[in-house]
Structure 1
Amino acid sequence: MDKLTHVESGDKSPAYQHLETSGDVLTRHEERDLKRGLAQRHVSMIALAGAIGTGLFLSLGGSIATGGPLGSLLAYSFIGLIVCAVQFALGEVSALLPVTGSFVRHAEALSDPALGFALGWTIVYGTWLSIPSEISAICVLFGYWTDVNPSAWIMTFIVLTAIVAFSKIRYFGEIEFVSALLKILLIVGIILLGLITALGGVPGVPRVGFRYWRDPGPFVPYLADGSWGRFLGFWSVLINAVFSFSGIESIAMAAAEMRNPRVVIPKACKRVFARVALFYVLAVLVVGMIVPSNDPRLSEDSGTAATSPFVLATAAARVAAIPHIVNAVVITSAWSSGNQALLSGSRVLYSLALKGQAPRFFLRTTRWGTPWACAATYVLSSFLAFMALSASAITVFYWFVSLVGCGVLISWSCVLFNHLRLRMAFRKQGIDARRLPWHNAWTRELPICSSDASVLVRRCPLLLHHHPADQWLCRVHQGQLVRLGVYHCLLVSTARGGADYRDIGLVAAVFLGWKLIKKTRWVRLADIPLEEILSAMEALPEEKDERPRGAVRFISWLWD
């Protein structure tokens, strides 16, 4: 029997009737139909695999060319702090409410059912498009080695995606575990080789050190000269950093399929952030040391390992296999990203069906606990990858993708808002927050600061578009940043049809539509049944996972 509070149809208690409509505990469908196949190591490595993606392997060079080595390092570190806030906020809420759909269901339980509905369907829509996007990227990556018709690769990875979609959740966990290990081994190898090269450890290669930080310099002016231009260079890297970290918020999407989620989720959140931050900071530092920001190759984008900053950074070592290794790992990374999109999207769709916000057909599962009806819709959506073979079709496809272009920041903002609402409910009801299964005293004010930062970063594209008025606007004095932002928002939104606000407009329209139709009400803080949830949790504590034994313990620090 599951140790979490769950709802049976015959419960008459007012508190449990509220739980059944708020979505903050396992429903009997989750408890009966889903299987707990994800262990601690799976959850930690799924988070690592989601956070270390193709953005780091292929886009880092463009960031250094735009912002310089120090500008890029500061930008990635700044976004890393936001990621820390998101991880810890998500961990606190998910450890208390470990349900399918994670922060989507949390939004319904802690704020408004209409908000959960809007976020849920936005994520479902975005992940439907993510899988064919990743498959299209894989075709480009294989083009580095062969000129085989892309249709063959598209069909191959559609089949592989379908196999993963309908398999047991444990097999998905094992695939992501291996994928994350490959990424980590590549990053560690590149960092070590890069440091050896920079410090003169490669015969015939002079010591570089921090030479390129002096010439051409630690920052690159962007759109303007002087200190203002250097600031804009740093600012422009922020949005690249966001997409490099994207995926880290999906760690708890399948919480109802985890063993001991109230123990596993906090451990994964605490450990994953430290590892991701370490890998990112060192990778950005090493590439910035070895490759000058004015190297023209950094601005090239073949979509393969040929222009990967990791390959450029280790070119001096003259290891012929490195480009092929990087390309192979990036292929597994792209496939892993598609699989994660499938897992997140299918579980969110399942959670919407649980609450009557999607057809109940999507509640159907296999005997081994996979929601096959939800997974089938994602397998069908993967056939959109064939649109990449047509110039006109790919234009339409990426127009659809642009509708959720910055959905990552919307998801992060929602995670932080959920955490804020939960903490407010604890204070409103006079309950000690230390009763949470995972509690951090310093996170009390963190959601507010991080939400402000997310909103600020969300305006990056508006401030930095290559619009004819950019040069004029960027000559505005540095002290007029607010006025610059307002003018540029109006100008670019008018000129581009508000493209940068499509994702926000989509969420707002769906939220208002559902709220008007269903007449949903904002959840009062006093009505959130925290005492019932905490009492049930304390009555049935979860068991801690056993520590690894044998030779595995020497590498288990990666996930344990």
Structure 2
Amino acid sequence: MATDSEKYTGRAASVNSKDGVQVEMLSPPPSVTGDQTHRTLKARHIQLIGIGGTIGTALFVQIGASLTKGGPASLFIAFTVWCTFVMAVNNCLSEMVTWIPVSSPFVRFADRFVDPALGFTAAINFFVFQAFLIPYEIVAFNVVLQFWTDKIPVIATIFFVLFFYSALNIFAVRFYGESEFWLALGKMLLAVLLIIFTFFTMLGANPLHDRYGFRFWNPDNVDGAPFAEFYTTGDTGRFLGFLACLVQASFTIAGPDYVSMTAGEAENPRKVLPRAFNSVFYRLCTFFVLGSLCVGIVVPYNDTNLLSALSDAKPGAGSSPYVIAMQRMQIPVLPHIVNAGVMSALFSAGNSYVYCASRTLFGLALEGKAPRFFTRCTRQGVPIYAVLFTLAIALLSFLQVSNNSAVVLQWFVNLVTASQLLNFSFISFTYLRFYYAMKAQGIDRDTLPHKSWLQPFCGYYALAGCIVMALVGGWAVFLNGNWDVPTFLFSYLMIGVCPVLYTGWKLWHKTPFHKLHEIEFFKAERAEVDNYEDNFVAEIPSSRFLRAWNWIFS
């Protein structure tokens, strides 16, 4: 029989006996809600998954294109401003998810707190966003590989990446969590090392002994200026440069949505998840605010090598501002290390997208909005058919075989940028409904496992900002001489599709817009989590090293 000390972390639970021997027990009773995933993701997995899904080539390579449009000050200000919107989304998500840690949380929250039609729309939008980022990362992976050689066939590279995505996501979620931990740790170290590289080289610690400091921010220096002019001159040109940087920031910066997607498989979620959400602030400041500052320090916005690399679409890290700076300072070896780091960052990001997209489809099926067979899980708790369907979409990466890589990459970027902003908008609106429903039902927010600050201001702030950015994301096509039908369609496709999805589902199924006093806060699901946590026993590390390790990543 299961005892009070049973540790519900998977299909089989373990008991720590007095002599330290772990005994395998029978699995906990089947979920009454139909969710058969297993809670095997540890605190360190979740912390690094939140990093792994956000740091990619956009932070190391594509950011250089925005630098040339807006200049270092515009880039830094844009990334800093957008981080405030992402923090607002983080505050909205953290309060809901830590109280109701279920699979595919925010898409199911939209269903229960707003309208089943909005839940369907949000889920389809997020699934498209995540699923189409997988072939984007695979195509980019092949481009990065060409930094070293173009002799490896494109088809072979695509098969290689898909095989490992399949292996890491099909067999057990702990394999995904463990792989993402180490891959994300590598990305984090790369980002930190590039920040350190910037600090020391700007002070003269480089082969040229050039103490360049903030030289490229000096408006009197022909090699740079704080604000660049884009498309036109004067204040209008500088504003358009800033807007281009802000659009790049809205594509590059994410984080809280990836943390939330682990809620249904997180070990001891109401203890682990609040810490993961709280650490988002430090991740945003370290990797994106400091990262955007460093890019504008190491290379001027009008650097001829940077402009040439972008126009020639140099493969891999060849068009990275950091690599160009290293080459200017005659630093060997480091460009190859950066390229290797970028390659692992790409693989890790795609791995995260497979996980998030499959769990979104799984959540759709749990709510009855996708075929029921997508809820079927393996004995290890993996929603196998949802994973396989997601990997099937990744086959779109084979478009690269018959099309230019840069063209294919731009298709995916344009399509998913609006989807990410719409997703943040759905989350913000759902939170506002959650907030006012709790108020209407007399539920004190002080009783929640985690109470976020500046609410409901953050909900309104994030909603307004994300809607505005979604509408202006494709602004460049409206300038004289820039009209391009494919760019317009990819930039605004999901903005047009989402209202159609919502209206169609609502009319077909006659779904209700939930009244605040009638909203039911996942009572059955919360009862399951309560029962799980009442019987949860944390595994005690066996050495000082492991205790320190867990403390760092908890």
Taking structure 1 as the reference length, the TM-score comes to 0.85
Alignment-derived partner of residue 61 in structure 1: 64
Computed over aligned residues only, the root mean square deviation of the Cα atoms, in angstroms, reads 3.0
CA distance change for structure 1 residues 66 and 531 in 2, over 3 Å: closer, same or farther? closer
The correspondence for 2:479, drawn from 467, 474, 499, is 467
Tell me how far apart the structure 1 counterparts of residues 203 and 551 of structure 2 sit (CA, whole Å): 28
Matched, 1:129 2:132: yes
The correspondence for 2:156, drawn from 141, 152, 155, is 152
Instruction: After superposing the two structures, state which structure 1 stretch, 189-198 or 498-507, moved more.
Output: 498-507
CA distance change for structure 1 residues 362 and 532 in 2, over 3 Å: closer, same or farther? closer
Alignment-derived partner of residue 287 in structure 1: 295
Tell me how far apart the structure 2 counterparts of residues 217 and 462 of structure 1 sit (CA, whole Å): 26
Deviation at 1:383, TM superposition (A): 2.3
Tell me how far apart the structure 1 counterparts of residues 324 and 236 of structure 2 sit (CA, whole Å): 29
Mapping for residues 445-460 of structure 1, pairs under 5 Å: 445-460=457-472
What's the CA shift string for 1:86-131, capped at 9, x where partnerless? 1121111111221111210010011000111112122223333322
Mapping for residues 391-470 of structure 1, pairs under 5 Å: 391=403, 402-465=414-477, 467-468=479-480
CA distance change for structure 1 residues 398 and 27 in 2, over 3 Å: closer, same or farther? farther
Which residue identity lines up with residue 56 of structure 2 in the other structure?
G
Matched, 1:528 2:519: yes
Alignment-derived partner of residue 477 in structure 1: none
The correspondence for 2:234, drawn from 226, 230, 241, is 226
Alignment-derived partner of residue 174 in structure 2: 170
Alignment-derived partner of residue 382 in structure 1: 394
Contact 1:53–1:333 (Cα < 8 Å) also in 2: yes
Contact 1:404–1:502 (Cα < 8 Å) also in 2: no
Instruction: After superposing the two structures, state which structure 1 stretch, 453-462 or 527-536, moved more.
Output: 527-536
Contact 1:52–1:276 (Cα < 8 Å) also in 2: no
Alignment-derived partner of residue 277 in structure 1: 285
Identity %: 33
Instruction: After superposing the two structures, state which structure 1 stretch, 44-53 or 226-235, moved more.
Output: 226-235
Instruction: After superposing the two structures, state which structure 1 stretch, 405-414 or 225-234, moved more.
Output: 225-234
CA distance change for structure 1 residues 534 and 428 in 2, over 3 Å: closer, same or farther? farther
CA distance change for structure 1 residues 494 and 164 in 2, over 3 Å: closer, same or farther? closer
What's the CA shift string for 1:8-38, capped at 9, x where partnerless? xxxxxxxxxxxxxxxxxx962545x211110
Tell me how far apart the structure 1 counterparts of residues 44 and 335 of structure 2 sit (CA, whole Å): 29
Contact 2:411–2:490 (Cα < 8 Å) also in 1: no
Which residue identity lines up with residue 242 of structure 1 in the other structure?
S
The correspondence for 1:256, drawn from 264, 271, 281, is 264
Deviation at 1:139, TM superposition (A): 1.2
Tell me how far apart the structure 2 counterparts of residues 49 and 540 of structure 1 sit (CA, whole Å): 28
Contact 1:426–1:432 (Cα < 8 Å) also in 2: yes
Mapping for residues 44-55 of structure 1, pairs under 5 Å: 44-55=47-58
Tell me how far apart the structure 1 counterparts of residues 198 and 134 of structure 2 sit (CA, whole Å): 33
Contact 2:138–2:347 (Cα < 8 Å) also in 1: yes
Tell me how far apart the structure 2 counterparts of residues 511 and 249 of structure 1 sit (CA, whole Å): 21
Contact 1:462–1:500 (Cα < 8 Å) also in 2: yes
Which residue identity lines up with residue 91 of structure 2 in the other structure?
F
Alignment-derived partner of residue 473 in structure 1: none
Deviation at 1:346, TM superposition (A): 0.8
Contact 1:197–1:314 (Cα < 8 Å) also in 2: no
Alignment-derived partner of residue 503 in structure 1: 494
Tell me how far apart the structure 2 counterparts of residues 218 and 552 of structure 1 sit (CA, whole Å): 46
Deviation at 1:518, TM superposition (A): 0.5
Deviation at 1:290, TM superposition (A): 2.1
Tell me how far apart the structure 2 counterparts of residues 400 and 210 of structure 1 sit (CA, whole Å): 35
CA distance change for structure 1 residues 109 and 27 in 2, over 3 Å: closer, same or farther? farther
Alignment-derived partner of residue 331 in structure 1: 343
Tell me how far apart the structure 2 counterparts of residues 374 and 556 of structure 1 sit (CA, whole Å): 32
Matched, 1:193 2:187: no
Secondary structure of residue in 1 paired with 2:305: helix
Deviation at 1:74, TM superposition (A): 0.3
CA distance change for structure 1 residues 458 and 421 in 2, over 3 Å: closer, same or farther? same
Deviation at 1:347, TM superposition (A): 0.8
CA distance change for structure 1 residues 124 and 283 in 2, over 3 Å: closer, same or farther? closer
Which residue identity lines up with residue 43 of structure 2 in the other structure?
Q
Instruction: After superposing the two structures, state which structure 1 stretch, 251-260 or 275-284, moved more.
Output: 275-284
Residue ranges of structure 1 left out of the alignment (5+ in a row): 5-25, 471-491
Tell me how far apart the structure 2 counterparts of residues 533 and 293 of structure 1 sit (CA, whole Å): 55
Secondary structure of residue in 2 paired with 1:208: coil
Secondary structure of residue in 1 paired with 2:260: coil
Alignment-derived partner of residue 15 in structure 2: none
Secondary structure of residue in 1 paired with 2:454: helix
Secondary structure of residue in 1 paired with 2:279: helix
Tell me how far apart the structure 1 counterparts of residues 331 and 497 of structure 2 sit (CA, whole Å): 48
Contact 1:275–1:558 (Cα < 8 Å) also in 2: no
Contact 2:91–2:453 (Cα < 8 Å) also in 1: no
Alignment-derived partner of residue 513 in structure 1: 504
Deviation at 1:547, TM superposition (A): 8.8
Which residue identity lines up with residue 418 of structure 1 in the other structure?
T
Contact 1:107–1:113 (Cα < 8 Å) also in 2: yes
Alignment-derived partner of residue 8 in structure 1: none
Contact 1:197–1:316 (Cα < 8 Å) also in 2: no
Deviation at 1:391, TM superposition (A): 2.4
CA distance change for structure 1 residues 544 and 527 in 2, over 3 Å: closer, same or farther? farther
CA distance change for structure 1 residues 446 and 3 in 2, over 3 Å: closer, same or farther? farther
Deviation at 1:545, TM superposition (A): 5.9
Tell me how far apart the structure 2 counterparts of residues 364 and 556 of structure 1 sit (CA, whole Å): 33
Contact 2:474–2:488 (Cα < 8 Å) also in 1: no
Contact 2:55–2:349 (Cα < 8 Å) also in 1: no
Secondary structure of residue in 1 paired with 2:424: helix
Tell me how far apart the structure 2 counterparts of residues 540 and 373 of structure 1 sit (CA, whole Å): 26
Tell me how far apart the structure 2 counterparts of residues 106 and 452 of structure 1 sit (CA, whole Å): 20
Tell me how far apart the structure 2 counterparts of residues 122 and 459 of structure 1 sit (CA, whole Å): 16
Instruction: After superposing the two structures, state which structure 1 stretch, 75-84 or 237-246, moved more.
Output: 237-246
Instruction: After superposing the two structures, state which structure 1 stretch, 387-396 or 533-542, moved more.
Output: 533-542
Contact 2:72–2:227 (Cα < 8 Å) also in 1: yes
Tell me how far apart the structure 1 counterparts of residues 163 and 185 of structure 2 sit (CA, whole Å): 23
Alignment-derived partner of residue 81 in structure 1: 84
Deviation at 1:466, TM superposition (A): 6.6
The correspondence for 2:318, drawn from 276, 299, 306, is 306
Which residue identity lines up with residue 460 of structure 2 in the other structure?
I
CA distance change for structure 1 residues 217 and 401 in 2, over 3 Å: closer, same or farther? closer
Deviation at 1:558, TM superposition (A): 5.7
Which residue identity lines up with residue 243 of structure 2 in the other structure?
W
Taking structure 2 as the reference length, the TM-score comes to 0.86
Alignment-derived partner of residue 186 in structure 2: 182
Tell me how far apart the structure 2 counterparts of residues 127 and 447 of structure 1 sit (CA, whole Å): 23
CA distance change for structure 1 residues 497 and 384 in 2, over 3 Å: closer, same or farther? closer
Contact 2:127–2:361 (Cα < 8 Å) also in 1: yes
Contact 1:124–1:348 (Cα < 8 Å) also in 2: yes
Which residue identity lines up with residue 160 of structure 1 in the other structure?
F
Alignment-derived partner of residue 10 in structure 1: none
Contact 1:50–1:248 (Cα < 8 Å) also in 2: no
